[in-house]
Amino acid sequence: MKNTFFARNALRILMIVFFLTPFALRGARLAVQGIKNDVKDWLPSDFQETAELDWFREHFLGEQFVAVSWEGCEGTADDEIFKTFVDKFFPEIPPSLQNKRDYFAELISDEANDTELSSLELPPELYPRWQTNVVRSDFVSPVTGLYARQLHPSDLPPEEEFVGNQYGLFHPEDDHHDWAEQDEKWLMGFEDKWYFITPDGKLYEWSGGNSILQPIFSLLDKFQNKHDIPGTLVKDLGPVDGPWYYANPERLNARLFKSVVTGPGILSNLTAAGGSLEGDIETAKKRLSGYLFGPNGKQTCVVVTLTEAAKADLRRTLGRGMLGKPRGVLVTLAEESGISGPAKPSLIPPFIDRFLPDKPVPDPPVIKMGGPSVDNVAIDEEGQITLVRLVGLSVLVGLGLSWLSFRSVKVTIMVFFVGGLSAVTSVSLIYWSHSSIDAVMMSMPSLVYVLGLSGAVHIVNYYRETVEEQGMKGATERAIKLGWKPCTLAAFTTALGLISLYSSEIFPIKRFGL
């Protein structure tokens, strides 16, 4: 007798499924990594208030900013935490620039003792306010007594001239040092591209690619003793700066902060000689109250604006360090200055977490951040927390009910595999279709998981019934013939319910429905 369709093609079907599964897993991972939320998306586009907000942002909000403060942030001359935090925003000075400064400083010193050098015209110093080893007392305002140092965009070379910002470089925790046995050090850049710097200070873009099969190709090259690294030279950092950058690749990290404005700094500008409120500290504080100073006139804050590299990956700038991600650079700078970072949120559902031991609370002072960028990062992180909790609960409930229903480990695993693969595939399609995931769409995997699980349960029950009635021969085909209509109807009615959300005026809900 002729074999049935599934009897003939079972192995082929399984091979296709398991061949495509890694692509689904990779797509889902990249989709979750690229989660992107914007508070503005929650404002209906046809509202008058939205139009007014757009006009305001276009004319008055040219930069993305973050306001930072903590308990006891007053910026006084003896506020070491405040002074250290502000100074942290000034990057290290490359040795080539420092050597020029030392050379001209020596010439100036010689000029004072040599009449032949008195007529020498020296070029103006480049970025004189870019200093790392400073005398902090020089920045204490004689009028206010507060630490008034600030970082202006003109204090540093333009961000577009720095190689780190050109390619969005950052030094990952796992830098794969000497991966190709050439003593190279690795960095990542925009679009997850890899770069490496050699001991002679040359920076290359790796040409190996970032595809799902690339690790296999790399392992084959290693087994064949191929140690050449395919790469394109993007920057020769020179014989002076090159080894300096190689010694610490973090110096190549993209600059994330364009400017740093502080309450004491603005107050000093207003009350200094020639300022609009020269000597009138009380009036100046009243004007700044609610913006850069608190109601008591002492509590202040630091406002930083972000570069394009920071805007491209806000979580690397402001994140709390969840799900294997490192702490945001701003949080790290605060912790290095003696300010506690925000506590990492629990991924365990609240009704379970309340029975677990309390987690340690960060020692004060604790950093407080605000601004549109902070809101967007918070939404991203809370969305991922929700996803982890929903996935965990869905897996537990699905496995538990499947086991109670079938009393079979094999059937439970098969049903769970169908539901899980359906959820993963739904997320991966977002990435492969060049779309992005947001907080609302993070609930989609659980919905698809339940739908796939219910369909698998239906098919299993139909399969059992047809085996009892007509035997094993052709049971798979008969089960699908009986079950495809109710399963399709259930999926269709769910799709109708979701597509109705497309009529919403709120973009994230509208996209979720689509």
Q: What's the confidence (pLDDT) of residue 117?
A: 46
User: What is the SS3 assignment for 386-405?
Assistant: HHHHHHHHHHHHHHHHHHHH
Is residue 295 in some structural domain? yes
Contacting residues for 165 by C-beta, under 8 A, at least 6 apart = 159, 254, 255, 307, 308, 309
Structure tokens at 134: 């400073």
Query: 304 pairs with which residues across the strands?
Result: 66, 260
147 and 291 together in one domain: yes
CB distance 369 to 66 below 8 Å: yes
CATH number (domain holding residue 30): 1.20.1640.10
326 and 383 together in one domain: no
405 and 355 together in one domain: no
Is residue 172 in some structural domain? yes
Distance separating alpha carbons of residues 87 and 18, to the nearest angstrom: 53
242 and 267 together in one domain: no
Q: Are strands 302-306 and 65-69 parallel, antiparallel or unpaired?
A: antiparallel
Q: Which of 252, 271, 294 is a domain's end point?
A: 252
How many other C-beta atoms lie within 10 A of the C-beta of residue 219? 10
Q: Which of 252, 268, 301 is a domain's end point?
A: 252
Is residue 57 in some structural domain? no
86 and 101 together in one domain: no
* Residue carrying the six token digits 């049935």: 4
Distance separating alpha carbons of residues 460 and 457, to the nearest angstrom: 5
CB distance 42 to 508 below 8 Å: yes
170 and 155 together in one domain: no
Specify the DSSP element, H or E, that contains 102: helix 95-111
345 and 267 together in one domain: yes
Q: Count of domains in the chain?
A: 4
491 and 465 together in one domain: yes
Residue ranges of the chain with pLDDT lower than 70?
A: 1-2, 38-40, 53, 56-63, 104-105, 107-125, 175, 209-228, 514
CB distance 67 to 291 below 8 Å: no
Asked if the bond preceding 365 is cis, omega within 30° of 0, the reply is yes
Distance separating alpha carbons of residues 142 and 279, to the nearest angstrom: 10
Is residue 147 in some structural domain? yes
Q: What's the confidence (pLDDT) of residue 393?
A: 83
Is residue 53 in some structural domain? no
Distance separating alpha carbons of residues 157 and 70, to the nearest angstrom: 30
Expressed in percent and rounded to 5, the helix, strand and coil fractions of the chain are 55, 10, 35
Distance separating alpha carbons of residues 477 and 183, to the nearest angstrom: 59
358 and 459 together in one domain: no
Is residue 469 in some structural domain? yes
For residue 261, the SS3 value is strand
**Phi, psi angles (nearest 5°) of residue 274:** 90, -5
User: What is the SS3 assignment for 223-239?
Assistant: HCCCCCCCEEEEEECHH
Q: Which of 336, 370, 404 is a domain's end point?
A: 370
Is residue 55 in some structural domain? no
Q: What's the confidence (pLDDT) of residue 216?
A: 55
Specify the DSSP element, H or E, that contains 196: strand 194-197
324 and 290 together in one domain: yes
Structure tokens at 304: 């930083």
Domain that holds residue 293: 65-91+140-161+256-370
Distance separating alpha carbons of residues 341 and 347, to the nearest angstrom: 18
438 and 509 together in one domain: yes
* Start-to-end CA span in the chain (Å): 47
Is residue 47 in some structural domain? no
152 and 201 together in one domain: no
Q: In 3D, which of 195, 188, 290, 184 has the Cα closest to residue 234?
A: 195
Whole-model pTM: value is 0.79
